[in-house]
Structure 1
């Protein structure tokens, strides 16, 4: 809604009639001259005028995965169901008017021969997800693990096909691919006369490149025509390659770059189709924003090429709320403020006007409407810092005994995902395990504990820690424990890290050793220990078969527990003579692993003391957190409300 000020003060920019008065230089950024400096210098990133980015989208991905798993006829209509909703509809099913907005029972009525596959689900007692015809939301948990694995196979083929490019996974079925490095290399190889600056170049390296040769777009994909705008509703539109021949815009060096990228993209897509059986659709343009838009120009097993010359007429008639991040509250605010609906309507609004209404950061809106996007394509790390399995509960948990069965379902998903990650990188291990609970509809609480290394990650191991966290949350066994009403539970790992083979523990920087620890990078580094009865000052180092895995903490735990098993659940420190009692951790034998954990944690304190600097009085200054004085919290200024376009987005 327009604010009170705008309703009383007429706006110079109100209405759609101004759309025809777009300044001629609105798209001047599309026609930058390309010089020898641009070609011969390393690509300058997002501002490179030869930059080419593609967005590759797997067609009806979940449905394609299930069709491949079941070896079903590709021509048979198929949908993937999650509870009562559809999350994927293949193209044969779409011809019956079925969409993801349809209910699965209504879809069957439209197409009696429709193959309906419910997404795999976890059930209590199952170590892996299974396929059920009618799973119960109260006892089952949705699993997307199969789709994640298939997505990883596709990304691997992308990387094989373009080792010199950056590949950014945008979602489970989409990825951005930056072809800029390939473009620079290929242009110099195909046109060797450009490798040297001509001796008579009038402006040195800033001399504009000579005109490129004609380009044949045949067999490269659908080239968006310059003078044929897309439909006003933003839907898919067929394109004819022949339309390009009639355009009055001659070829540019960026067109050459697009054609080079299209050739490689076509080979990569063919490889995915041949090796995995999946079809993809791609959009190829000058940046990520336009690549995303052009990918939907014509869908299903195709690629679309958006030349710079075609961008103005491609964008102007497009409903601007179809653009990512302009379809929510911000898009509605723009529509209400200026009474506009298309990109062309908004082009009449100056940057100063936009910033006066929506803040300084609205320059992003101003630029994206003109086809400018400077965001980089950055490969995301394969290893995420966390894993989370969660479930909204259709029926709230009101009894403490109802929690463990549901947590066990989440534990099964986490066990499978962590083992999948470790099959690719054996040194992966999380630091902590966390329980997140939503109590009622407003209050959220989280609890976490360290997650010690266990060689065999099973559902029982994870469920044991989950049960302990659950008991702490509900106050099981305590008199007067408050009533519970849990509407959401989540179980996850945090602090996932990947150790490196041969990684040295911190002690290696303070004392030499004739042989490094045989069990590799350590979460629990080996330390110099005080002699114990019947033992030596240093623990023996033994070879293990798995030298590539994460620090096998149980090795240290067993060694530590072996010399203290006489204490029957307690450890007496030989340095400070303090007795350390333990309690069962919910997993394993309390006299071994739990006791060893307590011993190692206590020895951390002494180890830190030994490394501390002399305080000037000949003594050691303790550096353990428990010996440090508590820091005083600084009085922070009250947070201001969100300003500019930020207030139109939901903080996550």
Structure 2
């Protein structure tokens, strides 16, 4: 990359700081101050935002799993196509097309139904024709692959880049800071304000060198007018951002096998728009000078907040369909209606206008935080498994199979999540149900504390969920449950003093939180979801192996085997919680007694009398 020397400030290029107007924002003045500033924001003139989107993500996951990179493939969920790979699209196959029509268009089409759970499954299985009446869809594979890709963005991009997960298959990336660092490294003469700079740090940067765009990057739109525009420093920033994105996309392709498409522009809205400009496996850069020509042919309803009822009203009243049509209305009403100015700015720069009194593109950009790229919290707060029932549940016993299906999904997701965050654990298990006979039609839920257990199993989760189900549903009143859900909530990391929950239950020595001295704990319970040594031979009695406590189930002629086992599991779990609380209480008592020892009396040290002015003020205060 060329590193041209700075030009003289007497050259025609330097124009000084002009008054910002509607059009000046396409080529904002970039000064030494703006380049070297430590404060970045959505109105930064060197801002670089990228949106990286996986190409036909669900289909790509199945192509890699099956090892068929070039075969036409679709992903089916019940009777709907939810993903179509690009080889299949060549046959005119589209999402939501009937599967029979798709197979007629392409006889060699590979059809993959998403994995499903049914009662008894510990993990989701791939089946040719699952039944929605007995099976539940699983998206676990796609979630796992999404996590891998997000991690590759973080590892493959410079450390100062900000990565925000936008959806399961796309991420926004703020490259402003790393691009700025690379610019200063490539053009070191920009780090110091020249002595002859007429405005000091507010002096505009010298003319930038011509940039060479990456060979696989399209300058969008590719028209002669935009390409021939003089190179700006923001163009330099965009080209550096394109280099960063090209590298990380190649790493994802070589490591995981997924193709991606990216858009690079000045904000999230424009980056997302141009990411789809050249799919699949394409990358597009939208220069500031090209923004009007790129936006004007677009249907205006694609603009955020200009769709829905507002978009319909605008289209009907003003007979408009494209962005160019709306801009014509703005220009004809320029001095009549301030709201049209907001619409114009929203379209021209892709900004979220929420206040009609925004007076400039920069002010408009600060009206909303939606354009800020911010990494979302890594530790999820909840996990949800739910099912819309094709046939309502009208008997209490009919809900138990679905509970086990939901419990299987939750168990697998929690186990997988703890492989990367072993200290995470939920506080609560929540059972929800939607009753069509409920007067208000709202979901009802019951929750119970979720204890620490070593083995996360379907049986352990179902035992607690079964009890919540009984509390939630009144069998004496007619009901029709059309939706059920099971969720872990209150997920948090355990205290820093514990290396992991598993280590806590292995009975290793604990440390005092204040003094760090070892404290033996021999009786921390080894909690298990099932324990055959604690169940008597008649299979209706629980006997604790530690204290000999015995609990006998009340005889019931209507109790099923599943309900009997769930009741025993629940009894054991609650009794193990009792032992855990007892041991923790003992630990707390020992720690309290250790801390409550009377401290050794220290010899009082005679205070020195204040001197000088301090002594004067002390004497004055006493006299008052």
Would the TM-score normalized by the shorter structure come out above 0.5?
A: yes
Q: Deviations over 1:102-151 (max 9, x none)?
A: 11121001100000000100111000000000000011110110011111
SS in 2 for 1:384: coil
Mapping of residues 77-116 of structure 1, within 5 Å: 77-116=72-111
Cα distance in 2 between the residues matched to 1:517 and 1:27:
68
Instruction: Point out 4+ residue stretches in structure 1 off by more than 6 angstroms.
Output: 350-357, 551-554, 561-564, 597-607
Cα distance in 2 between the residues matched to 1:465 and 1:591:
10
- Asked whether the equivalents of residues 453 and 552 of structure 1 are also in contact (C-alpha less than 8 Å), the reply is no
Q: Which residue of 1 aligns with 2:572?
A: 589
Q: Which residue of 2 aligns with 1:372?
A: 351
- Asked whether the equivalents of residues 519 and 552 of structure 1 are also in contact (C-alpha less than 8 Å), the reply is no
- Asked whether the equivalents of residues 426 and 491 of structure 2 are also in contact (C-alpha less than 8 Å), the reply is yes
Comparing 114-123 with 101-110, greater Cα deviation is found at 101-110
Which structure 1 segments of 5+ residues have no match? 1-23, 229-242, 505-515, 526-537, 545-550, 555-560, 571-582, 611-652
- Residue 326 (structure 1) shift: 3.2
SS in 2 for 1:489: strand
- Asked whether the equivalents of residues 167 and 178 of structure 1 are also in contact (C-alpha less than 8 Å), the reply is yes
Q: Does 1:34 align with 2:34?
A: no
- Asked whether the equivalents of residues 584 and 594 of structure 1 are also in contact (C-alpha less than 8 Å), the reply is no
- Asked whether the equivalents of residues 512 and 519 of structure 2 are also in contact (C-alpha less than 8 Å), the reply is no
Q: Which residue of 2 aligns with 1:256?
A: 236
Q: Deviations over 1:471-524 (max 9, x none)?
A: 111235xxxx211100011110110001243269xxxxxxxxxxx9945899xx
Cα distance in 1 between the residues matched to 2:319 and 2:509:
70
**Aligned partner of 1:328 among 298, 303, 308:** 308
Which structure 2 segments of 5+ residues have no match? 1-19, 353-364, 366-370, 500-506, 529-542, 553-565, 594-624
Q: Which residue of 2 aligns with 1:638?
A: none
- Residue 455 (structure 1) shift: 1.1
Question: Are residues 419 and 591 of structure 1, via their aligned partners in 2, closer, same or farther at CA, if it must alter by over 3 Å?
Answer: closer
- Residue 306 (structure 1) shift: 0.3
- Residue 186 (structure 1) shift: 0.7
- Asked whether the equivalents of residues 509 and 519 of structure 2 are also in contact (C-alpha less than 8 Å), the reply is no
Comparing 398-407 with 365-374, greater Cα deviation is found at 365-374
Cα distance in 1 between the residues matched to 2:373 and 2:302:
22
Cα distance in 2 between the residues matched to 1:336 and 1:585:
66
Q: Does 1:389 align with 2:385?
A: yes
Question: Are residues 487 and 562 of structure 1, via their aligned partners in 2, closer, same or farther at CA, if it must alter by over 3 Å?
Answer: closer
Q: Which residue of 2 aligns with 1:276?
A: 256
Question: Are residues 458 and 86 of structure 1, via their aligned partners in 2, closer, same or farther at CA, if it must alter by over 3 Å?
Answer: same
Q: Which residue of 2 aligns with 1:470?
A: 469
- Residue 101 (structure 1) shift: 2.5
**Aligned partner of 2:218 among 215, 222, 246:** 222
Cα distance in 2 between the residues matched to 1:92 and 1:395:
37
Cα distance in 2 between the residues matched to 1:224 and 1:473:
57
SS in 2 for 1:45: coil
Q: Which residue of 2 aligns with 1:483?
A: 478
Q: Does 1:432 align with 2:428?
A: yes
Cα distance in 2 between the residues matched to 1:204 and 1:135:
71
TM-score by length of 1: 0.72
Q: Does 1:151 align with 2:146?
A: yes
Cα distance in 2 between the residues matched to 1:398 and 1:468:
18
- Asked whether the equivalents of residues 519 and 543 of structure 1 are also in contact (C-alpha less than 8 Å), the reply is no
Question: Are residues 133 and 66 of structure 1, via their aligned partners in 2, closer, same or farther at CA, if it must alter by over 3 Å?
Answer: same
Q: Deviations over 1:218-246 (max 9, x none)?
A: 415011136x4xxxxxxxxxxxxxx57x7
- Asked whether the equivalents of residues 388 and 482 of structure 2 are also in contact (C-alpha less than 8 Å), the reply is yes
Q: Which residue of 2 aligns with 1:213?
A: 209
Cα distance in 1 between the residues matched to 2:459 and 2:298:
54
- Residue 603 (structure 1) shift: 11
Q: Which residue of 2 aligns with 1:247?
A: 227
Question: Are residues 591 and 273 of structure 1, via their aligned partners in 2, closer, same or farther at CA, if it must alter by over 3 Å?
Answer: closer
Cα distance in 2 between the residues matched to 1:200 and 1:132:
74
Cα distance in 2 between the residues matched to 1:585 and 1:354:
72
- Asked whether the equivalents of residues 114 and 137 of structure 2 are also in contact (C-alpha less than 8 Å), the reply is yes
Cα distance in 2 between the residues matched to 1:568 and 1:588:
10
- Residue 249 (structure 1) shift: 1.1
- Residue 363 (structure 1) shift: 5.0
Cα distance in 2 between the residues matched to 1:134 and 1:439:
29
Comparing 333-342 with 27-36, greater Cα deviation is found at 333-342
- Residue 458 (structure 1) shift: 0.3
Mapping of residues 383-422 of structure 1, within 5 Å: 383-422=379-418
**Aligned partner of 1:201 among 183, 192, 197:** 197
**Aligned partner of 1:186 among 177, 182, 186:** 182
- Asked whether the equivalents of residues 89 and 98 of structure 1 are also in contact (C-alpha less than 8 Å), the reply is yes
Q: Does 1:460 align with 2:443?
A: no
- Residue 32 (structure 1) shift: 1.1
TM-score by length of 2: 0.75
Q: Which residue of 2 aligns with 1:169?
A: 165
Q: Which residue of 1 aligns with 2:123?
A: 128
Q: Deviations over 1:331-370 (max 9, x none)?
A: 223323443222223333469977779xxxx958852453
Q: Deviations over 1:296-340 (max 9, x none)?
A: 111111100100000011112211112344332332233234432
